[in-house]
A and B are shown apart, each in its own frame.
Chain A
Amino acid sequence: MAEFDLIPESPLNGLRRTFEHIAVEEVSGRAVVSVAFSDRAGLEQAMRTNLDLTLPFVGNTARVETRDLLVLSLQSDQIFVLFPQTGYRPDLEIAEIAGDHGCVTDQSDGWALLRVSGPRSRAALERICMLDLHQDIFTVGAVARTVMEHLGVIIHRDDEHSFLLMSARSSAGSFAHSVVTSAENVS
């Protein structure tokens, strides 16, 4: 037993706010690991072999339901892998899967994750998100990098009325405020 304990804190202290037809809540307990690669074919093979997963192309995602694992394809040579965090080194778990085909970096502590859901979630996001979130354009499973209220954001539609937003931890307070204000303004 160490003399001193370090106590973990989530970026938004478990924020949860509900409005008429909109819920805004922090998503915690998810590991976020970046995999950068030069050899797409190699990584694709490794993912298929180890996860039974087809590597998605930029703007798309793929899931492994049995492991509650989500792959966000963010750029031509980079993906983010999200999955339940159970240990100190989620990057090593993914490194084992990627083998020599990817450069793995733990990003689990760098991002605040917010889910905006409910029938009015798109109306709320219209106030801060310049992307076209129409269900025919930004379909379920889509992912994109964008900017909301001056802050870099990764947005992923994980259901018809549900969006996962990822923004930097240091400005999470400002980001959450902007999302909550949007929800308030349209409720």
Chain B
Amino acid sequence: MTQAFRLAKGGLIDRSQTLEFRFDGAAYGGHGGDTLASALLANGVRMVGRSFKYHRPRGVFSAGSEEPNALVELRRGVRQEPNTRATMAELFGGLDARSQNYRGTLKCDLLAVNDLFSPFLSAGFYYKTFMWPKSFWEKLYEPAIRAAAGLGRLSREPDPDAYDKGYLHCDILIIGAGPSGLAAALTAGRAGVRVILADEDFRVGGRLNAETLGVNGMAGSEWADAAYAELAAMDNVRVMTRTTVFGAYDHGIYGAIERQTDHLPHSSGKPRQVLWRIYTRRAIVCAGATERSIAFPDNDRPGVMLAGGVRAYANRFAVGSGGSVAIFTNNDTGWRTASDLSAKGISIAAIIDTREISPLAAPRGAAVVMGGRVTGTKGRHGVRSVTLAGGQTIECDCLAVSGGWSPNVHLTCHQRGRPQWNENIAAFTPGGDMPVGMRVAGAVNGIFSLQNCLADGRETAVEILENFGLNPPANDAQTADEEAASISAFWHVRDRKGRAFVDLQNDVTVKDIRLSHQEGFRSVEHLKRYTTLGMATDQGRTANVLGLAILAQASGKSIPETGTTIFRPPYTPVAIGAIAGRSRGKEFRPVRKTPGHRWAEENGADFVESGLWMRAQWFAREGETHWRQSCDREVLQTRSSVGICDVTTLGKIDIQGRDAVEFVNRVYSNGFAKLPVGKCRYGLMLREDGLVMDDGTTARLGEKHFVMTTTTANAAPIFKHLEFCRQCLWPGLDVHLISVTEQWAQAAVAGPHARKLLEKLVDPDHDISNDAFPFMACGKISVCGGVPARLFRISFSGELAYEIAVPARYGNSLMDALMKAGEEFGTTPYGVEALNVMRIEKGHATGNELNGQTSARDLGLGRMMSDRKDYIGRVLSQREHLVRENGLKLVGFKPVDEKQELKAGAHFIAKGKEMTTENDEGWMTSVAWSPNLQTSIGLGFIESGDSRMGETVIAADPLRERSIEVEIVSPYFVDPEGERLRG
């Protein structure tokens, strides 16, 4: 096609730039500055989709983001995006769009049969119809309805585009770059405050681009261009086009989505959209107003459009929406459409005004019908004629309808502000409590004349500046052409047959609204949910007030008495990808790696996520095909010779100060007051409620210096807890905390040859013999010729063991050096699986046992609750339930049949008893295959476990449908006397 409906001159398009695009496979041409909608209309494409429920032909209805009809699938393949508003899609060369919601072809849709059955498909029909049989709803009815309904299709592939987020700050956020927004921005910008001016359009100016009204003696669009140029040159002003402010949140924070590359053929690796969080001192909402329709039979045909949209297509895009246009209006702006179109040579077939007295002069040749009503339209795929109440038929291919203008109050409602009815403009304006710091200006404030909008924008900015204590710039008021904007409310043409649509996107008709009222859904909130009025991508921007007015009429109440719905974020659809931002795939969250990570990788480690940490689970060797083979080997080798394990992830907290010892003594339940310098002690930390919070070893490196270790998972919570104790509970203590988890790379060296191995690295002036450095000793040493290190003789495995720490920069090298030094002993690295096996063999508790529900007594550590001092958790640990005789006790378990495998999570039931909650005696917390004992072993809590050694019970596992008989045994499976670790 050759853009047959493109006007010969005018418009704000770049005619030197011709852009080829495709719609439903056919090739078309447009120009720079077009939207997809304007380009389609320029090419005479009137039918662009099918309606949601009845599959009726639909065309472009508006020229903005309120568009309910012209939803298309944009792009192909993985980048296919459904429900894109053609009115918002900026044209680019190679754009590929398809109509949606039909089966067959757009013009021959098999599902158009729905329209024939429309008498049966009224609001809520499926609630009433698909009642029986009950099971059919999920299996048949719902899938069938879903397949038939809906709009566009997703690609069903992961979104390949990148998205980003960001944070902006300003003194004044101005939302909307129309006349009032630009006026406000100029005043604020000239005063030197930091301004962000955001507009969803790709061109600033708002209605100035769509009208012929002048400002300061020049065309409105030229003035907007000049204002933009001035603002863009200011360092303190940021103009953000293609940016929709979609939500007003607490404390002056706004959410905005910037479409950075949607107007380009390719993103070129850059983020397609950026989700901004904007921190503001003040915000001025200059979001304008949206035109609404009038309900009359068959008012949804392609070619029936909003009058303001028709005017915008002519003035901004140089597109005639039809060759012969009729206008149906209840206000003066409809007449402006007539005069603008006529001035561009478009024939005006008639002006049908619901009012009795003609307000303005009609263009030459246009029939004028005052007090008129349109009672129907004709034309299969587009309007061919309209019929008036008197039976008169008017031939036309476009009917421009204006039912008045509704201020875009959405953002003012986001914190429960409730709009109030303004009879003068027959619309809602912002009311109630608006978000803190928010002001409104211009059309959103119910001010519709251009001169007043400009003045309101400026005055609002002036007021804010004065509130800031600044002097507003003088003499920067704008002057504009006068315009008429009176209205007499008229909602729908009554008593006529045929469906009169209120909400085009959801196929909600006048009849549906009346039916809703008739069936008792009389609250406007219920109306919305029963009929779906105001839902989906347009959020009822052209429909809500109209629907409300019809409900009010049905209920015999006024509109203020009927009430209104309010709006929530987002104002406009926001892609899920934009909300996710970069947090996808492996970027979903940060990864923490130990300094020895690369060494572990090079040594065949298989990693597991442990919180944010990556930890080696095991180190597979050649020929090992199952993790258990690796794990068993690592355990056996460690117990027979020596193994090394990266334990950097354990929390390490440096505690210093004159009162450091007192502090440590108060946070642990066992005593630390007499711990000598150069010694470690196992510590148990309780919560205030007396249950166990965490455990770990704390070393005293100096009189006023301790290093506390925590479990990996609790490193941050314990630090937070200690800071709370320090700052809030005992501010008088002289104690300081800092995390040194990141500072030190730490490795466990365990096994009979551990000392021999370490002696090869430790500098000769440090004696680590058993006498000089016995079990639970600690000290500052140096290794490998002077590198500072810390050595702790502690053992989680139950073997002769040490933990050695060096500054993290040497961590990778340390692991390498340990392996090389240990070659003669056949040193093995071991991962957390072997670590776990060895601690279970030794009966040591970890997170499975310290699960926040267990007490020190449950863990068999009751003796660690000192009765000679006060400590956190002391009082509540004495609660009756926690000190009962038959309480839970941590014990060991072995299967009676040693070939059986234990499962963690199994619950203990006495033999012969029913598997019920009442008979539950405890649960298995940890299990492992012990390569030393050649059987499965476990730890678990069971009532009075410590006095039931040798008893057998059932480990019931109904979820996995297996229950086995187990024997209660000591939790110390290996070296119960602890001889090895002291060796």
Q: Which residues of A contact B (CB under 8 A)?
A: 1-11, 34, 36-38, 77-78, 88-89, 103, 105-111, 126-132, 134, 137, 149-151, 168-171, 173-175, 177-178, 181-182, 184-185
Chain B 160-171, CB-CB to A under 8 Å as 1, else 0, gives 001011111100
A10 to B612, CA, bound (A): 21
Q: Does B738 contact A7, Cβ atoms closer than 8 Å? A: no
Of the listed residues A9, A78, A109, A170, the one surrounded by the most CB atoms of chain B closer than 10 A to its CB is A170
B:751-778 near A, CB below 8 Å: 760-761, 763
Contact for B740 among A110, A149, A151, A182, CB less than 8 A: A110
Nearest 10 CB-CB pairings of A with B: A36-B736, A110-B742, A2-B785, A103-B656, A174-B590, A109-B808, A132-B169, A170-B592, A8-B809, A110-B743
What total of chain B residues lie within 8 Å of the partner, measured CB to CB? 62
Instruction: Identify 15 residue pairs between A and B in the complex whose beta-carbon atoms are under 8 Å apart, listed by A's number.
Output: A5-B813, A9-B812, A36-B657, A77-B736, A78-B736, A88-B786, A103-B736, A105-B743, A109-B743, A109-B808, A109-B809, A127-B165, A168-B742, A174-B590, A181-B582
**Inter-chain contacts of B787 with A (CB < 8 A):** 6, 88
B595 within 8 A of A: yes
User: Does B557 make an interface contact (CB < 8 A)?
Assistant: no
Q: Tell me whether B817 and A170 are in contact (CB under 8 A).
A: no
Whether A5 pairs with B743 at a CB distance below 8 angstroms is: no
Shortest CB distance B410–A (Å): 25
B279 within 8 A of A: yes
If A88-B786, A130-B277, A149-B590 touch, whether A6 touches B814 (CB-CB below 8 Å) is yes
Q: A150 to B165, alpha carbons, bound, how many Å? A: 13
| Chain B residues proximal to chain A, CB less than 8 Å | 162, 164-169, 194, 269-271, 274, 277, 279, 582, 587, 589-595, 612-613, 648, 654, 656-657, 704, 734, 736-745, 760-761, 763, 782-788, 806-810, 812-814, 817, 820-821
Which one of A6, A107, A111, A173 contacts B813 once the chains associate, using CB atoms below 8 Å?
A6
Q: Cα distance A45–B704 when bound, in Å? A: 22
A171 near B738 (CB under 8 angstroms)? no
Q: Which residue of A lies closest to B169 (CB)?
A: A132
- Please give the distance in Å from B200's CB to the nearest CB on chain A: 21
Chain A binding surface SS class = loop
Question: What chain B residues lie within 8 Å of A130 (beta carbons)?
Answer: 167, 277, 279
Contact between A107 and B738, CB atoms less than 8 A apart: yes
A151 adjacent to B784 (CB under 8 Å)? no
Among A7, A34, A109, the residue within 8 A (CB) of B807 is: A109
Cβ distance B207 to chain A, nearest Cβ, rounded Å:
31
> Do the beta carbons of A170 and B587 come within 8 Å of each other?
no
CB-based contact B784/A5 at 8 Å? yes
Which residues of the partner chain A approach B194 to less than 8 Å between Cβ atoms?
Answer: 134
Q: Complex Cα distance A127/B275, Å?
A: 9
Partner of A150, one of B169, B271, B590, B812: B590
Inter-chain contacts of A10 with B (CB < 8 A) = 809
Taken together as a complex, chains A and B put the C-alpha atoms of A171 and B814 apart, in Å, by 20
Chain B residues with CB under 8 A of A137: 169
- What distance in Å separates the Cβ of A177 from its nearest Cβ neighbour in chain B? 7
Q: Are B742 and A169 interface neighbours, CB within 8 A?
A: yes
Q: Within the complex, what minimum Cβ distance (angstroms) separates B806 from chain A?
A: 7
Q: Measured between C-beta atoms, what is the minimum distance from B226 to chain A in Å? A: 26
Interchain nearest-CB distance for A180 vs B (Å): 12
Known contacts A109-B743, A137-B169, then 16 further A-B pairs from the complex at CB < 8 Å, ordered by chain A residue: A2-B783, A5-B817, A6-B784, A9-B810, A38-B734, A88-B787, A88-B807, A103-B736, A107-B738, A108-B807, A109-B742, A110-B740, A130-B277, A134-B194, A150-B590, A177-B587
B612 touches which of A4, A171, A177 (Cβ 8 Å): A171
Residues of A within 8 A of B277 (CB): 130
Q: A6-B806, A9-B809, A108-B807 are in contact. Are A126 and B592 (CB under 8 A)?
A: no
CB distance from A149 to the nearest CB of B (A): 7
A126 and B169 alpha carbons, distance in the complex (Å)? 10
| Residues in B whose Cβ lies below 8 Å from that of A131 | 167
Q: Is the CB of A126 within 8 A of B740?
A: no
| Interface SS of chain B | mixed
| A127 CA to B167 CA, complexed, in Å | 6
Smallest distance from the beta carbon of A121 to chain B beta carbons, Å? 14
Nearest-neighbour CB distance to chain A for B167, whole angstroms, equals: 4
Residues of B within 8 A of A134 (CB): 169, 194
Asked if A4 contacts B742 (CB within 8 A), the reply is no
Q: Which residues of A contact B657 (CB under 8 A)?
A: 36, 38, 103
| CB–CB B763/A105 < 8 A | no
CB-defined contacts of B806 to chain A, threshold 8 Å: 6
Q: Does B810 contact A6, Cβ atoms closer than 8 Å? A: yes
B622–chain A nearest beta-carbon distance, Å: 26
CA A11 to CA B811, docked complex, whole Å: 11
CB-defined contacts of A1 to chain B, threshold 8 Å:
785
User: Who on chain B is nearest to A89 by CB?
Assistant: B788
**A88 CA to B810 CA, complexed, in Å:** 11
Contacts of B742 in A (CB 8 A): 107, 109-111, 168-170
Complex contact A171–B590 (CB within 8 A): yes
A88 touches B788 (CB 8 A): yes
Contact between B590 and A106, CB atoms less than 8 A apart? no
Contacts of B812 in A (CB 8 A): 7, 9
Q: Are A170 and B165 in contact (CB under 8 A)?
A: no
Nearest chain B CB to A42 CB, angstrom units: 12
Residue of A4, A5, A174 ringed by the most chain B CB atoms within 10 A: A4
Determine which of B166, B739, B817 lies in contact with A126 in the assembled complex, contact meaning CB atoms within 8 Å: B166
Once A3-B760, A103-B736 are accepted as A-B contacts, the answer to whether A185 and B164 lie under 8 Å apart by CB is: yes
CB-contact partner of B591 in A2, A88, A174, under 8 A: A174
Contacts of A127 in B (CB 8 A): 164-167, 274
User: Contact partner of B817 among A4, A106, A151, CB < 8 A?
Assistant: A4
Q: Check if B582 sits within 8 Å of A178, measured CB to CB.
A: yes
What separation, in Å, do the CA atoms of A158 and B166 have in the docked complex? 22
* Cβ-defined contact, A4 with B807, below 8 A: no
A150 to B589, CA, bound (A): 8
CA of A137 to CA of B785, assembled, Å: 48
Chain A residues within an 8 Å CB radius of B809: 8-10, 109
Complex CA distance for A36 and B659, rounded to whole angstroms? 14
Complex Cα gap A37–B763 (Å): 33
Interface contact A110-B760, CB-CB below 8 Å: no
Contact B736 A4 (CB under 8 A): no
Question: Distance (Å) between the CB of B911 and the closest chain A CB?
Answer: 49
Question: Shortest beta-carbon distance, B633 to chain A, in Å?
Answer: 25
CA distance A107 to B590 in the complex (A): 21
Please judge, given known A-B contacts A127-B166, A149-B582, whether A107 and B587 are in contact too, CB under 8 Å.
Answer: no
Known contacts A6-B784, A178-B582; is-contact A171 B810 (Cβ 8 Å): no
Known: A78-B736, A107-B743. A185 touches B271 (CB 8 A): yes
**Shortest Cβ gap from B237 to chain A (Å):** 13
Whole-angstrom CA separation of A174 from B788 in the bound complex: 28
Give chain A residues whose Cβ lies under 8 Å from the Cβ of B744.
109
CB distance from A27 to the nearest CB of B (A): 14
State the Cβ distance, B757 to closest chain A Cβ, in Å: 11
- The residue on A at minimum CB distance from B745 is A109
